[in-house]
């Protein structure tokens, strides 16, 4: 907690204000969730952060509401909104009477929360790891220029993205050793016997430790803690349990944005690595992790970014 005063969500600083608001609400929610025994809501209020928390939430709601208002005003040419875009689909359901305006607002807030911090954190981790392991960064570069040899700026379509198999391995391995969402919670709805014989009784709240599970030596070998994209070669995945790698979890409540997240990450990585070289003096073994809704680093490695000569 403790960001500088958060301004109104308009004018030149609007983007920064919105980001700060998301950050502040996320941090406060985590503290209220993980330390509920302290009655964090009261503590937040006592520490004087409650006003800031309320203001941050209002900023986010205002941003979403402006989007809804913009889009519900009839298009002058009478054309339909592109229904492949989430908010347009939600507005269509509202116009048909299946959604209330509050539903659009709530669902949009959840989606922005689910999408933005997770994808940004993962991209940051990929760049940090590629800076720490230059040999893997060069392999990414080689793959990208083999598909896009000429121009500095280039467009990518769906099939281009799917051909970037090494980039894909790098993303998967990044989310294995640095699980973006390190823990997920579940409420046990019926007595459940685990394969090791332990019974989870109905009503129990549990946390699934994705971070440590994805670094288990009995699954990933003696070097399970080391970043090595080769772990995701098809031959190395053979025989592994399908749930031993779950950065987006599995089952009915898994991440609805996983495909979009992977596509957008690969595009961003290809474009950045084609143009820039990332280096760092920070050593991989000195990374220290702090559990939160998305994993945090105790000390953020500084990256040096140099433009590649083409
Ligand atoms: C690398 C990026 C991302 C990671 C690592 C990630 C991870 C996760 C995880 C672990 C969950 C919890 C699932 C569970 O409790 O079982 C989740 C839920 C969710 N994610 Fe993502 N996510 C990412 C990107 C996105 C994007 C881009 C969107 C939207 C476009 C999104 C939307 C959501 C939503 C709406 C939920 C809640 C689903 C539900 O409760 O039914 N996520 N995500």
Per-residue pLDDT 10s for the chain (310 aa) are 333 333 444 444 556 788 888 888 877 777 666 655 555 666 666 666 777 888 888 988 888 888 888 777 656 566 666 667 788 888 888 889 999 988 988 888 888 888 888 999 999 999 999 999 999 999 999 999 998 887 666 788 888 899 999 999 999 999 999 999 999 999 999 999 999 999 999 999 999 999 999 999 999 999 999 999 999 999 999 999 999 999 999 998 999 999 999 999 999 999 999 999 999 999 999 999 998 888 999 999 999 999 998 6
Which positions ≥6 away from 27 have C-beta within 8 Å?
1, 292
Q: Cβ of 18: how many Cβ atoms within 10 Å?
A: 19
Q: What is the β-pairing status of strands 192-193 and 199-200?
A: antiparallel
Q: Which domains does the chain have, with CATH numbers?
A: 74-307 (1.10.630.10)
Q: Which helix (H) or strand (E) holds 277?
A: strand 276-279
pLDDT number for residue 2:
32
Burial of 90 (0-12, 13-18, 19+ CB in 10 A): buried
C-alpha 81/C-alpha 214 separation (Å) is 42
| Residues found in the chain | 310
With beta carbons less than 8 A apart as the criterion, state whether 265 and 245 touch: no
Pocket test for ligand 1, best of 22, 114, 123, 167 (most atoms within 8 A of CB): 114
What pLDDT shows up at residue 109? 84
Count Cα atoms within 13 angstroms, Cβ side, for 185. 9
Atom 41 in ligand 1: which residue has the minimum CA distance? 253
What is the pLDDT at residue 98? 93
Mutate to test the pocket of ligand 1, among 167, 257, 269, 294 (most ligand atoms within 8 A of CB): 257
Mutation pick for ligand 1 pocket among 248, 249, 252, 259 (CB with most ligand atoms within 8 Å): 248
Ligand 1 centroid from CA 304, angstroms: 30
Cβ pair 49, 2 in contact under 8 A = yes
pLDDT of 44 reads 62
Query: Ligand 1 center to residue 262 CA distance, Å?
Result: 12
R_g (Cα) of the chain, nearest Å: 22
């Amino acid at each position: 907690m403790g960001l500088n005063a958060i301004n109104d969500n308009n004018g030149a600083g609007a983007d920064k204000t919105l980001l700060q608001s998301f950050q502040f609400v996320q941090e406060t929610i985590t503290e209220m969730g993980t330390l509920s025994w302290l009655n964090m809501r009261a503590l937040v209020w006592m520490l004087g952060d409650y006003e800031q928390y309320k203001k941050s939430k209002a900023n986010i709601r205002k941003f979403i509401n402006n989007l809804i208002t913009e889009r519900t005003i009839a298009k002058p040419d009478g054309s339909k909104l592109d229904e492949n875009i989430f908010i347009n689909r939600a507005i269509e359901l509202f116009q048909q009477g299946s959604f209330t305006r509050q539903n659009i607002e709530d669902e949009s807030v959840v989606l922005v929360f689910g999408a933005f911090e997770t994808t940004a954190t993962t991209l940051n981790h990929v760049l940090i790891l590629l800076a720490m392991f230059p040999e893997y960064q060069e392999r990414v570069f080689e793959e990208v220029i083999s598909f896009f040899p000429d121009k500095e700026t280039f467009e990518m379509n769906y099939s281009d993205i799917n051909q970037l198999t090494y980039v894909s391995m790098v993303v998967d391995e990044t989310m294995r050793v640095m699980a973006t969402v390190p823990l997920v919670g579940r409420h046990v709805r019926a007595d459940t016997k685990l394969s090791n014989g332990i019974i989870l009784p109905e009503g129990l709240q549990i946390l699934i430790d994705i971070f440590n599970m994805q670094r288990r030596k009995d699954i990933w070998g003696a070097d399970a803690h080391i970043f090595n994209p080769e772990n995701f070669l098809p031959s190395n995945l053979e025989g592994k349990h399908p749930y031993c790698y779950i950065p987006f979890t599995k089952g009915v409540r898994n991440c609805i944005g996983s495909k979009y997240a992977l596509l957008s990450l690969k595009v961003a990585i290809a474009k950045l690595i084609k143009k820039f070289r990332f280096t760092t003096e920070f050593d991989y073994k000195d990374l220290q992790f702090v559990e939160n809704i998305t994993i945090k680093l105790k000390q953020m490695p500084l990256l040096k970014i140099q433009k590649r000569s083409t």
